[in-house]
Chains A and B, each alone.
Chain A
Amino acid sequence: MQKIMVCIKRVVDYNVRVRVKPDASGVMLDGVKMSVNPFDEIALEEALRIKERGANIEVVAVSIGVADAQQQLRTALAMGADRAILVQTDAAVEPLTAAHAFLALAKKETPDLIFLGKQAIDDDANQTGQMLAAIWDRPQATYASKVEISAGKANVTREVDAGLETIEVDLPAVITVDLRLNEPRYVKLPDIMKAKKKPLEVTSLDALGVSAGVHLKVLKTEPPAQRQKGVIVKDVPELVAFLKQKGLI
């Protein structure tokens, strides 16, 4: 194993309560805190742990997005990635487009493994890793909660609806990670300073020969239906009476 690529998406921080614009044209993003997609932090942490166990593995963090996504790539470099590539674009990038851009990078970089998050918490698509694996014609191991690498193979435990499933895939492979795979490390100040000197290359979709086509047109963005606030009962007998009256028990 020589190289691991990790996809890092800049998204609205998971603590922010996202609000819809009154004209239904999208969500309000002005002045909102942006972070590395939480799943992608876990993906990077896993790549770093593999690097730290093995010899001479290069970890490359890649992102597609606006110029400011350099901030999230700097975070990735501070965590321990060796270098970073930003595919800079102002366009809204759909998963299929992202997958094609990552494929173009994979062809250049020839990684043994590509780690992605299982989903981006903005579009909640849960597609990019699977699409990338499809067009790269390589195995996919989604929703990983445990990854073991051995000669030319990865043994991956996956979180599925029925419990846990284990599969073996040949490398190179695409792995998308779930929350319980690991706890990402905290970034320390000296690492942030060091990260400033690490290489961060900026390229474009054009340079990679990928067009940012729109396959799904977003017609409007609306707030979800709100649930009515209910009643507060004072004790267990009242709760039981409520449930009985509703026919629930």
Chain B
Amino acid sequence: MHKILIVGEHDGKTLNPATAKCVTCATGIADAQISIALFGEDTSAVASQAAALSGVESVLRVDRPENAHPLAAILAPQLVALAADYTHVFGPSTSFGKDLMPRVAGLLGVAQVSDLMAVEGAYRYRRPIYAGNAIVTVESDPSRKLLATVRVASFQAAATGGNASIESKALNVALPTHTRYLGAKSGSTDRPDLQTASRVVSGGRALGSAENFKLLFSLADKLGAAVGASRAAVDAGYAPNEMQVGQTGKIISPEMYMAIGISGAIQHLTGIKDARTIVAINKDGEAPIFEVADVGLVGDLFQIMPELERLIGT
């Protein structure tokens, strides 16, 4: 039997959908017994959401004031203590999981599989390297604990309807004081979340200004879509960093991805390979984005966007 512990990601109120995707990944391992660990100040609300994920047997709550913000240095020793009973420890390949999991692996002295995209066995997995230009199959030693971050864009969320046990864990672990949370800033909007939206409209350098990005917002609102951006657009200050899609931004898998004025650099394409349908709008018919687009329109985005917005929903 394989005992898999998944670190749940949440904001105190809502379980991040990345967690449900990690569950699906874990159910791909034969004889898996799956638990979810939740760290927070008060995880009661998210614990019931985690317990409802089908395939999960138990939810372990670790509530203490120090866990109010997910600082890797604080959470890692606690996760190490919980991990003692498990063969595998998985976290999502979100900024939360990528920060935390290698610290846990370091403390445990074991390797980590980053961005696990397919399960081929309890100790055999596939993962991307070189910005997704190659896929390696890796195997680890079954006698050692295996840590992994799960590439969430590769998995569907687990269904709900489960009824896992919920248990509070009091861990007797000394926590470091060398790391302190000061604050956070997010450009949060009412728009759908980029990582889970079924439709995403993204803009590139060609938008030319933050002002012009509003055209994109307006189109996105019409489509009920989340908004993304290329690195060039973020670097130029047209869009905030949390909108960046790609190798070093978010890896997403929407039903529809619309790339507007984005050339399609490899680093950008890495982030959208799993989109069901890619739509490209670019004035350069030779732009690499057209190599991967399911449908492309060559032309000036400033003419196309208003017309598109008008024709949608007619």
Residues of A bordering B, CB below 8 Å: 12, 14, 17-20, 27, 94-96, 99, 118-119, 121-135, 137-143, 145, 155, 158-170, 173, 178-180, 215-224, 227-240, 242-243, 246, 248-249
CA gap between A95 and B311 in the complex, in Å:
51
Listed A/B pairs (16) with beta-carbon separation below 8 Å = A18-B133, A96-B111, A124-B129, A163-B240, A167-B182, A169-B179, A180-B235, A216-B113, A221-B136, A224-B128, A224-B132, A224-B133, A224-B135, A229-B290, A243-B279, A246-B277
Interface of B is mostly: mixed
CA gap between A163 and B239 in the complex, in Å:
11
Q: Is the CB–CB distance between B112 and A159 below 8 Å?
A: no
Q: Is the CB–CB distance between B297 and A235 below 8 Å?
A: yes
Q: Is the CB–CB distance between B184 and A166 below 8 Å?
A: yes
Closest to A166 in B: B182
From A163, A217, A222, A242, B241 is in contact (CB under 8 Å) with A163
Q: Is the CB–CB distance between A219 and B95 below 8 Å?
A: no
User: Chain B residues with Cβ under 8 A from A160's Cβ?
Assistant: 95-96, 184, 242
Closest to A183 in B: B235
User: Chain B residues with Cβ under 8 A from A138's Cβ?
Assistant: 178
Q: Is the CB–CB distance between A168 and B180 below 8 Å?
A: yes
Q: Is the CB–CB distance between B311 and A163 below 8 Å?
A: no
- Quote the shortest CB–CB distance from A159 to chain B (angstroms): 5
User: Chain B residues with Cβ under 8 A from A129's Cβ?
Assistant: 102
Instruction: Give per-residue flags for B220-238: 1 if the beta carbon is below 8 A from chain A beta carbons, else 0.
Output: 0001000000010011000
Q: Is the CB–CB distance between B278 and A227 below 8 Å?
A: yes
User: Chain A residues with Cβ under 8 A from B247's Cβ?
Assistant: 121, 124
- Quote the shortest CB–CB distance from A82 to chain B (angstroms): 27
Q: Is the CB–CB distance between B134 and A162 below 8 Å?
A: no
Interface size class for chain B? Answer: 35 or more
Q: Is the CB–CB distance between A142 and B98 below 8 Å?
A: yes
Q: Is the CB–CB distance between B130 and A126 below 8 Å?
A: no
User: Chain B residues with Cβ under 8 A from A218's Cβ?
Assistant: 136-138
Closest to A242 in B: B295
Q: Is B109 an interface residue (CB 8 A)?
A: yes
Closest to A121 in B: B131
Q: A20-B134, A223-B135, A248-B255 are in contact. Are A126 and B102 (CB under 8 A)?
A: yes
Q: Is the CB–CB distance between B133 and A163 below 8 Å?
A: no
Interface of A is mostly: mixed
Q: Is B190 an interface residue (CB 8 A)?
A: no
From B235, B241, B242, B291, A229 is in contact (CB under 8 Å) with B291
Residues of B bordering A, CB below 8 Å: 11, 71-73, 76, 94-96, 98-107, 109-115, 124, 128-141, 144, 176, 178-188, 195, 199, 223, 231, 234-235, 240-242, 247-248, 250, 255-256, 266-267, 273, 277-279, 285, 290-299, 304, 307-308, 311-313
Q: Is the CB–CB distance between A233 and B137 below 8 Å?
A: no
From A124, A131, A159, B102 is in contact (CB under 8 Å) with A131
CA gap between A204 and B95 in the complex, in Å:
33
User: Chain B residues with Cβ under 8 A from A140's Cβ?
Assistant: 72-73, 99, 103, 179
From B104, B110, B133, B250, A215 is in contact (CB under 8 Å) with B110
User: Chain A residues with Cβ under 8 A from B285's Cβ?
Assistant: 232
User: Chain A residues with Cβ under 8 A from B296's Cβ?
Assistant: 230-233
User: Chain B residues with Cβ under 8 A from A167's Cβ?
Assistant: 71, 179-182
Q: A231-B295, A240-B311 are in contact. Are A216 and B111 (CB under 8 A)?
A: yes
Q: Is the CB–CB distance between A139 and B176 below 8 Å?
A: yes
Q: Is the CB–CB distance between A12 and B130 below 8 Å?
A: yes
- Quote the shortest CB–CB distance from A219 to chain B (angstroms): 4
Q: Is the CB–CB distance between B129 and A142 below 8 Å?
A: no
From A164, A179, A220, A229, B184 is in contact (CB under 8 Å) with A164
CA gap between A242 and B312 in the complex, in Å:
12
Q: Is the CB–CB distance between A232 and B277 below 8 Å?
A: no
From B73, B115, B135, A139 is in contact (CB under 8 Å) with B73
From B72, B182, B240, B292, A168 is in contact (CB under 8 Å) with B182
User: Chain A residues with Cβ under 8 A from B313's Cβ?
Assistant: 249
Q: Is the CB–CB distance between A134 and B76 below 8 Å?
A: yes
Q: Is the CB–CB distance between B242 and A162 below 8 Å?
A: yes
User: Chain B residues with Cβ under 8 A from A119's Cβ?
Assistant: 248
